Amino acid sequence: MKKSLGIVGVISLGLVSCGITPDFSLLVGMPTLKTEWRTQGGTFVGCDEVWDGNVLYSTKTQVRASFSAVGELDRADLNLQGEDNNSTIEDDDFVAVFRKDNGLENSGDDYTVLFDANSATGNYLPAGVGQQGIIVKPTPRNIKVVSVREQDRPYLNAGFHANLVGYSLSGQSAVAPQSNTIPVYRKCTLISENGLPL
């Protein structure tokens, strides 16, 4: 028997920042993205390459998407999309499906998914990393502090955001509002690797 959400569930997420299924059985909140790379000013960024002096430290960016869901969430489909000068770069190569037995973690109504975007193949963020460059449910890494330069942006206002669709047990979909945008840099410089877990 389907269970409709009560007024408490609606208020807890806020109608402005959530998507809802037609039968009101599921509310999905706007996802929030964080990465393993953070500037000294506290901004989370995506890095195609991270350098430690003259040594290439990493070509991966680990991303955590957090969101709230009230109701019967069966799965969450996450699509990364790039941005160029505040316009969306269509890229449907990366659409990952997360279930509780495959990377969808929750504590009550709070959910998280974790994945790596690997730029080593030459398919750079924000829009170029295809399915082959994505690792779902990787080993969590700590947040590192990096320095960035605007001249290392691949283009003006380069970045990526996430589109999230939650599905109820009956297969109905709830489209969440678009996530925050993560700025992207071709090159970042490592400052400190002693951080908290992502």
Structural tokens at position 87: 């316009």
Instruction: Reply yes or no on whether the pLDDT at 8 is more than 50.
Output: no
In 3-state terms the chain splits into helix, strand, coil percentages (rounded to 5) of 10, 55, 40
User: What is the model's pLDDT at position 7?
Assistant: 37
186: nearest Cα among 72, 100, 99, 61: 61
- Amino acid identity at 196: L
**pLDDT tens figures, 89-137:** 655 556 778 888 888 888 999 999 988 877 665 555 655 545 545 667 7
- Amino acid identity at 198: L
**pLDDT tens figures, 124-151:** 565 554 554 566 777 889 999 999 999 9
User: What is the model's pLDDT at position 93?
Assistant: 57
Span of 39-43, 60-64, 94-98, 99-103 with lowest mean pLDDT? 94-98
Taken in order of first residue, the domains within the chain and their CATH numbers are 7-192 (2.60.40.1940)
Q: Kindly report the number of other CB atoms within 10 A of residue 65's CB atom.
A: 21
How far apart are alpha carbons 52 and 56 in whole angstroms?
Answer: 6
Q: What is the dihedral of CA 120, 124, 126, 128, to 10 degrees?
A: -110
Span of 59-73, 84-98, 166-180 with lowest mean pLDDT? 84-98
158: nearest Cα among 126, 130, 180, 133: 126
